[in-house]
Amino acid sequence: MSNTLINKAADNIRILAASMVEKAKSGHPGGAMGGADFMNILYTEFLNYDPSDMKWINRDRFFLDPGHMSPMLYAQLALAGNYSMEDCANFRQWGSVTPGHPEVDVERGVENTSGPLGQGHVMAVGAAIAERFMVARFGEWMAHKTYTFISDGGVQEEISQGAGRLAGYLGLNNLIMFYDSNDIQLSTETNEVTVENTEMKYKAWGWNVMTINGNNADEIRAALKAAQTEKERPTLIIGKTIMGKGAVKEDGSSYERKCATHGMPLGEAGASFEKSIENLGGDSKNPFVIFPEVQEMYAKRREDLIKAASLKKDEQYKWETENPELAAKLKSFFSNEIPAIDYSKIEHKAGLASRASSANVLTVFAEQIENMVVSSADLSNSDKTDGFLKKTTAFKKGDFSGKFLQAGVSELTMACVMNGMALHGGIIAACGTFFVFSDYMKPAARMAALMQLPVKYIWTHDAFRVGEDGPTHQPVEQEAQIRLLEKLQNHSHKNSMLVLRPADSAETSVAWKLAMENIDTPTALILSRQGIKDLPAKTNRYEEALQANKGAYIVTDSQGTPDIILLASGSEVSTLVAGAELLAKDGVKCRIVSVPSEGLFRSQSAEYQQSILPAGVKKFGMTAGLPVTLEGLVGADGKVFGMPSFGFSAPAGVLDVKLGYTGENVYNQVKELLG
């Protein structure tokens, strides 16, 4: 293909990107202008997808890491026919399909939401793992590549360490990452913050690394070709690129390689917008244009892609006819079907820790759900995801026949990888660690919530009862923090996360049931380390625990109107039961309410909420988290007994007594409240 035309198309991307930012009066033109050459070659010569069926499961994936380079992606996808010139002109405007940072929109070719640097390329690692998982089950005909684009910021983010290590360890030769190395970042040049030899770093992790001129079409093409043939390792193409390529000042002199063009319109940054557009061959009065010859080239590419995809699909149909059972399985993997598990049949011994009852459920999942992948950040025997692992094997280079990912000690990487698997599709993704380390995962959990990905978090060791490990390991404020995502709505007007802290084994089975049924948002399960006395059952504890699907329900009730309603989540519910026994001896009528999810409870009808927590009856809440965790539910005339401080290192039983998490203290607190 003629490089004159190719370079003209890249200039077209530069023109559109710079014009979007100029018109919006905000955004990031410089990086986009430098990265345009790679994007253009990737989309015209390498990326396989079906423009007439953007959700085709076997498409190559492209994950952008630096979301601030959205103008580059939109301009690229505009050439490919997925955005109109009007869409480009409406960049960053209310209601436009071209938001400031890309928001997942597969129909238009946006595979992931990006913005927090570092996360995008880790999602690509997750997608690449998902692809290997599928190929291991259905065959090489399903193979596709996962491309990702990273910038200096993404390489500097700590999370890239986890992704680099994992992709190297797993030998993800299907992963090809382009590093837009323009040596410029937001407030400094890279040499003011690092002397790193990035090439050596990735080589040390087992990557295939090439360094090229990232603005040279032939070099990009050659590097991508070489990457296609790599059999053992993920590939990193370090493309040395020119920030603000093509930008000039009023007098026509170069305004390339300037920090200023990173994050503001060219005109504001010190360049001349008009002269730059003209320098790139555009019309500054009418810049939102695709050159006819570029349009023609992309139209041809579109046709070729549709033809190639149709041949691949023929291959798929042939395979489906020859393998009807596997074909049905493949369809079910990608259909978001809720696995048919009989949760009532899952047996738990009496008095289990909820992490242990979770392990019982996970064992059944491992046996019955073929497309569930569970991961742990090196705590599988503590967070009890080993209940799953013991029925399968962990992924390793060349062997993706199992269903477990040993993520190593890298919680944020793990959470991002799970997002990538969920985005790829075909996989039910779950991951575990200690609840206190949810802090390390929060940025990815937030992105899962924003992208509405049904990732499941298994957060164990839910309170100070981790005991001797001390305050570093004792979550206090974490529950209040994560429940804020239950209050934050996603763009589908639903709670952006479901957070469940089950009170005993039966409720843990139910919590897992709810988690699996929730295919619209992420779900967090907050589980205990210590054994919990099972809650009293009227007839069948599991059947009664099913009421957890309303977020809160009555575990035991008084005859007639209660004097007090006791409410809690998790293991504190059983402490309330002990307290209520003492109160009953004094004739105090108690209702006990388990609230595994305040968010879910508040989504119920006002009548239901009123029937469980009626106004006019005093309420006492107990939580091992901050009091604020329950304050919204007990109301102004109620009281919450919670943890007002960091925890302490001591045996769990001692802490219960010292900190007041006993039936006796429930008795005392309630007596005081009732006056």
List contacts with ligand TPP (CB under 6 A).
Answer: 28, 30-31, 66, 68, 115-118, 151-153, 157, 182, 184-186, 243, 262
Question: Which of residues 127 and 184 has its CB atom nearest to ligand TPP in the complex?
Answer: 184
Question: Which of residues 30 and 621 has its CB atom nearest to ligand TPP in the complex?
Answer: 30
Min dist CB 405 to ligand TPP, Å, is 23
Upper half-sphere CA count for residue 625 (Cβ side, 13 Å): 23
Min dist CB 90 to ligand TPP, Å, is 22
Q: Give CA 554 to chain center in angstroms.
A: 34
DSSP per-residue codes, 34-57: HHHHHHHHIIIII----TT-TT-T
Residues 77/83, Cβ–Cβ less than 8 Å: yes
**Residue 194 identity:** T
Min dist CB 202 to ligand TPP, Å, is 16
CA distance 387 to 353: 13
DSSP per-residue codes, 156-210: HSTHHHHHHHHHHHHT-TTEEEEEEE-SB-SSSBGGGT----HHHHHHHTT-EEE
Min dist CB 67 to ligand TPP, Å, is 7
- What 3-state class would DSSP assign to 72? helix
Question: Which of residues 145 and 257 has its CB atom nearest to ligand TPP in the complex?
Answer: 257
Question: Which of residues 117 and 428 has its CB atom nearest to ligand TPP in the complex?
Answer: 117
Min dist CB 424 to ligand TPP, Å, is 23
- What 3-state class would DSSP assign to 573? helix
Tokens of 537: 């059952």
Q: Is 337 a catalytic residue?
A: no
Question: Which of residues 158 and 314 has its CB atom nearest to ligand TPP in the complex?
Answer: 158
Hey, what's the torsion of the CAs at 363, 456, 595, 353, to 10 degrees? 30
SS (H, E, C) 305-330: HHHHHHHHHHHHHHHHHHCHHHHHHH
Length in residues, the chain:
675
Question: Which of residues 182 and 571 has its CB atom nearest to ligand TPP in the complex?
Answer: 182
Residues 499/457, Cβ–Cβ less than 8 Å: no
Min dist CB 414 to ligand TPP, Å, is 17
CA distance 403 to 246: 48
Phi, psi of 450 (to 5 degrees): -65, -40
Question: Which of residues 30 and 551 has its CB atom nearest to ligand TPP in the complex?
Answer: 30
Q: How many CB atoms lie within 10 A of CB 506?
A: 25
Catalytic residue among 111, 411, 507, 572: 411
Residues 522/416, Cβ–Cβ less than 8 Å: no
CA distance 48 to 113: 21
Question: Which of residues 116 and 420 has its CB atom nearest to ligand TPP in the complex?
Answer: 116
Sign of CA dihedral 233, 418, 488, 526: negative
**Residue 333 identity:** F
Min dist CB 35 to ligand TPP, Å, is 8
CA distance 48 to 61: 8
CA distance 378 to 485: 26
Helix (H) or strand (E) holding 354: helix 354-368
Tokens of 120: 């995008």
Tell me the residue nearest to ligand TPP as measured from the CB: 31
Compute the chain's Rg from CA coordinates.
28
CA distance 191 to 8: 32
Min dist CB 346 to ligand TPP, Å, is 40
Pairing of strands 404-406, 372-376: parallel
Phi-psi region of 208 (alpha: psi -120 to 50; beta: other; left: phi over 0): beta
Residues 541/555, Cβ–Cβ less than 8 Å: no
Min dist CB 187 to ligand TPP, Å, is 7
Min dist CB 8 to ligand TPP, Å, is 23
* Positions marked active-site: 411
